[in-house]
Structure 1
Amino acid sequence: MFDNAGRVMFTALHAAAEARLGAEHPCTGALAAAALDPAPDAVRAAEDALRALPEADRLALMEATHRTLRTDPAAWLALWPGGGRKQ
């Protein structure tokens, strides 16, 4: 269950980073890796990449991610096993 929550959060962070920083930015890549597999090493790398950003960028990414997860329940459900569909 918590692996899925990590995937959801890092997927939303990755989308925000791609929109703000671009696909080639190192932070975007680190967030993509953590979204794909939220293993401890990938999570640490993503956290380090976020910490390395200027504060304005980091806050903008967090705000965009929070907004996505707060206002778009499908963003959560689509990443859970079964895509949020009843099975």
Structure 2
Amino acid sequence: MRRKAMLFTVRRKKKGGGASPARRTRPFQHMVLRRLRELKKIVPDALDADVDMLLRRTADYICILELKVTVLRRLSAIYGA
């Protein structure tokens, strides 16, 4: 390969006239909304919940899962599996 083909050009940011703050937050908002939709699919009984209720139910669900793991570990220790 020639050395010239391996070089990349670097674009520099313009000092003025960049994207407005509202435009920069849109990808972040879309990412948050996408993750909330995925969370609604994972957490039981959360399909119609608003964000506050979804986060509460998620915290409860995490506690339930941790309890299940603890119980299964102890059962495994008792029965030697």
TM-score using structure 2 length: 0.29
Q: 1 or 2 for the larger relative contact order (CA 8 Å, sep ≥6)? A: 1
TM-score using structure 1 length: 0.28
| Larger Rg belongs to | 2
